[in-house]
Amino acid sequence: MTSIIAEEFGEWSESGRRIDLLAIDKDANLVVIELKRTEDGGHMELQSIRYAAMVANMTWEQAKTAFKKYLDDNSLDYDAEAKLCEFLNWDVPREDDFAQNVRIVLASANFSKEITTSVLWLNDRDLDISCVRLSLHKIDDKLVLSADQIIPLPEAESYQIEVRQKRREERISRSTNKDRSLFTISYLDEVYEQGFKKSDIGFFTVALLNEKDLIDRDVFEFLRNDKSCSFKLLKLREEMTETETRYSKYRFNKEPELMYEGKGYYIVRNWGVNNISKFIDKMEKRFPNISFTSTAVNS
């Protein structure tokens, strides 16, 4: 679910370009919406990535200003900040949680395979791009616009141009060069869990803290809002995006991994080599009694 905050947004320095629609979602991420009237989408995926990069550093104050202009232009008598907070279910503005990520939505009458192939490839590298096909229908002398999301969908392979031999070689290469390091987590120099993969580092960290009865309200909020790997460490099932469930960023198809104040939370498993060290540094600094070690495993 998104809420529009600007039309034809172009508050840049040194650029005359404009975003068709700028929105926010329930996770306080910015959403760049690019519209095209062509039958193949043109080069909208490249244009939208440029726009996403340009708004990536937008602040809460800048978003509020843009939204106020949008409300004024549309003769809507609302307080911009209050309306934003209401949409995000925030009691007060949480500027540090705003615009941690930028999503992209491409909307067009149709998409060429060049575009959909590019989008699928970019999504595989953790961008969040959706393709929505727009169709106009006439029903009882009325024009009705329908919108169908075609990416991401499980059947999206039909929209992809694939060099099959190269893909087979890449799969073999990935399986032989994959990082297979195993981790150990200790508490007061006593091993709590050892020999687990990086995808489980968040789970065993939270499990240890929970077992040692260290998760009070302050610690819960610290864990809940940690984004060492660009995804929130803890999420409710209903907070997950389709991309997060499709690519198993969380174990959403199992029982919640942490129960807190009657609610079940899932723990992010989207860990890579580059963000593991950031997470470990943050946890060891906050919890001096916890330590991590890793052991490289040859393929």
Q: What is the pLDDT of residue 166?
A: 55
Return the biggest CA–CA distance within the chain.
75
Q: Is 136 helix (H, G, I), strand (E, B) or coil?
A: strand
Residue with the bigger pLDDT between 214 and 150: it is: 214
Query: Which range in 42-46, 120-124, 257-261 is most confidently predicted, on average pLDDT?
Result: 257-261
Is residue 299 pLDDT above 60, yes or no?
no
Angstrom distance (rounded) from CA 96 to CA 224: 13
Range list of H helices, 79-228: 80-88, 113-124, 164-177, 201-211, 217-224
**Looking at residues 220-249, what average pLDDT do you find?**
86
Residue with the bigger pLDDT between 157 and 265: it is: 265
Strand boundaries in the chain, DSSP class E: 2-9, 19-25, 30-36, 102-108, 129-139, 142-151, 182-187, 190-196, 234-235, 258-260, 263-267, 290-295
* Cis peptide, bond prior to residue 154, ω within 30 of zero: no
Q: What is the pLDDT of residues 137-195, one digit of tens each?
A: 878 778 887 888 888 775 565 666 555 555 555 555 555 555 678 999 999 999 999 99
Residues 84 and 24: beta-carbon distance below 8 Å? yes
Q: What is the pLDDT of residue 42?
A: 67
Residue type, 125: R
Q: What is the pLDDT of residues 28-87, one digit of tens each?
A: 999 999 988 766 556 778 888 988 988 888 889 999 999 999 999 999 988 999 999 999
CA-wise closest residue to 276 among 209, 190, 179: 179
How far, rounded to the nearest angstrom, does the alpha carbon of residue 74 sit from its chain's CA centroid? Answer: 30
Is residue 122 pLDDT above 70, yes or no?
yes
Look at the chain and count its residues: 299
Is residue 280 pLDDT above 60, yes or no?
yes
Q: What is the pLDDT of residue 63?
A: 92
Q: What is the pLDDT of residue 168?
A: 55
Q: What is the pLDDT of residue 64?
A: 92
Q: What is the pLDDT of residue 180?
A: 73
Percent of the chain at pLDDT > 70 equals: 87
Angstrom distance (rounded) from CA 251 to CA 245: 8
**Looking at residues 9-32, what average pLDDT do you find?**
84
**Looking at residues 12-22, what average pLDDT do you find?**
78
| C-alpha Rg value of the chain to the nearest Å | 22
Q: What is the pLDDT of residue 194?
A: 93
